[in-house]
Amino acid sequence: MENSLPADYYRLLEDLQAVDFVLVELTLYLDTHPNDTASIDQFNHYAHERKKLKKAIESKYGPMQQYGNSYSGKPWDWNKGPWPWQV
Amino acid sequence: MWIYEKKLQYPVRVSTCNPRLAKFLIEQYGGADGELAAALRYLNQRYSIPDKVIGLLTDIGTEEFAHLEMIATMVVKLTKDATPQQMRDAGLDAHYANHDSALFYHNAAGVPWTASYIQAKGDPIADLYEDIAAEEKARATYQWLIDMSDDPDLNDGLRFLREREIIHSMRFREAVEILKEERDRKTVF
């Protein structure tokens, strides 16, 4: 599985990792600064960005999450790699 | 409920096969101040901490599992091409005898993880001070690992994790202030 993925996969993944870094940072920050409305606006903006990126990755490379948080192709494609430690 | 996502929090790359570095990194996998201890410590403290801090403990505890997966990925990548002779030369022969190439929750010296590494006092200030100390100890451990490593790709990931410890420590310090403020307000009517 390793190194058989196109450069596009790594680019999209890094885009998502970058947006998610902003979201993790803002989540922890807002946990202790719940009245910072400018940061909440930024949070909501990036939450929307992540939805778009997740959709773009999943349409090409399969589900990122399961338990119904992602759609499945046929056959069931959650078991299909690569898993994070394999790329 | 937890939802797993099929991606690392931050990309993990290594330059070369290096089982000796993997042996050291296991400290952050199953050591006293490692990521497993951190995740279990915070998620367990949630049930008795004041409401204002539950969200923070949940979110930092959850992030620690993402860090645990990053450490596992580093270990896998540093050891996957190693021969038994290389594992032996790196001091991983005892690990190999018991676990082959499987990961296990023990520290760099092979001592298995134990719940006595973590505390739950039920006193919010005592618990949060323990959390701050844990983050500082983990930050120091990442520094020692970076100091011992000559792998620039690995160090990029380790530096990211070191910085996260600093952020977590800062957020826990803020949580202490939030609780002090709430306590002081309650005594004045």
B174 close to A (CB below 8 A): yes
**Residue B125, domain extent:** 19-106+121-186
Return the residue in B7, B67, B80, B180 with the most chain A beta carbons within 10 A, the one to mutate for interface testing.
B7
Q: Name which of A13, A21, A69 is nearest B3 (Cβ-Cβ).
A: A69
**Residue B112: beta bridge partners?**
B106
What is the SS3 assignment for chain A? Answer: CCCCCCHHHHHHHHHHHHHHHHHHHHHHHHHHCCCCHHHHHHHHHHHHHHHHHHHHHHHHHCCCECCCCCCCCCCCCCCCCCCHHHC
Domain with B76 in it: what CATH number? 1.20.1260.10
Predicted local confidence at residue A1, as pLDDT:
44
Return the residue in A43, A85, A87 with the most chain B beta carbons within 10 A, the one to mutate for interface testing.
A85
Residue B32 lies in a domain: yes
Predicted local confidence at residue B151, as pLDDT:
98
Q: Which residues of B touch A27 (CB under 8 A)?
A: 59
What ipTM was reported for this prediction?
0.95
Dump pLDDT digits (tens) for B90-119.
Answer: 999 999 899 988 999 999 999 999 999 999
Q: Is B35 annotated as a binding residue?
A: yes
Q: Is B168 annotated as a binding residue?
A: yes
Predicted local confidence at residue A42, as pLDDT:
98
Listed residue (B63, B80, B98, B68) closest to B22, CA to CA: B80
Mean pLDDT of A47-51: 98
**Residue B5: beta bridge partners?**
A65
- In A, minimum Cα distance to B64 occurs at A24
B79 within 8 A of B22, measured Cβ to Cβ: yes
Helix (H, G, I), strand (E, B) or coil at B144: helix
Residue A69 lies in a domain: yes
Task: With CB atoms and an 8 Å threshold, state whether B5 touches A64.
Answer: yes
**Residue A60, domain extent:** 7-86
B169 within 8 A of B135, measured Cβ to Cβ: yes
Residue A45 lies in a domain: yes
Residue B14 lies in a domain: no
CA R_g for chain A: 15
Q: Which residues of A touch B3 (CB under 8 A)?
A: 65, 67, 69
Residue A76 lies in a domain: yes
Helix (H, G, I), strand (E, B) or coil at B46: coil
Domain total of chain B:
1
Dump pLDDT digits (tens) for B137-184.
Answer: 999 999 999 999 999 999 999 999 999 999 999 999 999 999 999 888
Residues 40-69 of A with CB under 8 A from B: 63-67, 69
Dihedral sign for Cα atoms in the order B5, B10, B13, B17? negative
Domain total of chain A:
1
Buried b (16+ CB within 10 A) or exposed e, B66-103: bbbbbbbbbbbbbbeebeeeebeebebeebbeeeeeeb
Instruction: Supply the pTM of this predicted model.
Output: 0.96
Q: Name which of B12, B77, B171 is nearest A32 (Cβ-Cβ).
A: B171
Residue B111 lies in a domain: no
A11 close to B (CB below 8 A): no
d(CA B72, CA A46): 28
Residue B24 lies in a domain: yes
Q: How far is A32 from chain B (nearest CA, A)?
A: 6
Q: Which residues of B touch A16 (CB under 8 A)?
A: 7
B5 close to A (CB below 8 A): yes
Weakest mean pLDDT among B57-71, B117-131, B175-189: B175-189
Alpha carbon B163 to its chain centroid, in Å, reads 12
Give residues with Cβ within 8 angstroms of B143, minimum separation 6. B162
Q: Which residues of A touch B168 (CB under 8 A)?
A: 28
- In B, minimum Cα distance to A18 occurs at B10
d(CA A82, CA A5): 9
- How many CA atoms lie within 13 Å of B60's alpha carbon, on the beta-carbon side? 33
